[in-house]
Amino acid sequence: MKIFNDSIRLQTTQNVEDINITDLLEAIVAESRIKEGASHIFTGHTTAGIHLNNADPGLAKDLHDFLSELVPNKPSYRHNQGDYGRNADAHFKSLLIGNGIIVPVTRGRLALGQWQAVYFSEFDGPRNRLISVKVQGVVLR
C-alpha cells in the first residue's frame, strides 16, 4: 500500500464561487502512480467546501443561488454580532456542502461519473485557500 500526499493552493477571486479542480486532482493522481485505491480531497477551511457536481457552470451559479435562499446571512446570528466576523452564512453553507470527499481511483484515474467534476466552493472570498489531497492504494506494474 502506497500513500501519496499533495496539496492545491487556490486564490479565489469572488465572494462566492465554484472552481472546478478536477484537472488539478487528476494531475496529482497521475503523479502518485497509484493505479487502484482512493483519493481523499479535504479543505480545513470553515467557510468553504468540496463537492461533486455536474460539470455545468450554470449549475454552479444555481447552487450558490439556492444556498443563499436557504441560508440568508441574518444580522441576528450571534456570530454576526461578535468579534468573529459577519459571515455566519458562509459557515452554515460549508456545513451543508461538506469539507471533503473520497473518490475512487481506478486504472490510475479518478473514477468519476460521466458528467461529474470535483468542485471547490468558496463562500467567503476572496481568500487564499488550501486543499489537502491524499491518494492511497497500490502501484501496479
- What are the structural domain ranges in the chain? 2-138
Tens of pLDDT along 88-139? 999 999 999 999 999 999 999 999 999 999 999 999 999 999 999 999 999 9
Q: How far apart are CA 102 and CA 56, in angstroms?
A: 21
Fold of 2-138: Jelly Rolls (2.60.120)
Whether the CA torsion 41, 27, 130, 114 is positive or negative: it is: negative
Query: E strands of the chain, at which residues?
Result: 2-11, 17-20, 36-42, 48-54, 100-106, 109-110, 116-122, 128-138
- Asked whether the beta carbons of 10 and 120 are under 8 A apart, the reply is yes
Neighbours of 125 (CB within 10 A): 18
pLDDT (tens digit per residue) in 47-99: 999 999 999 999 999 999 999 999 999 999 999 998 888 999 999 999 999 99
0.85 exceeded by pTM: yes
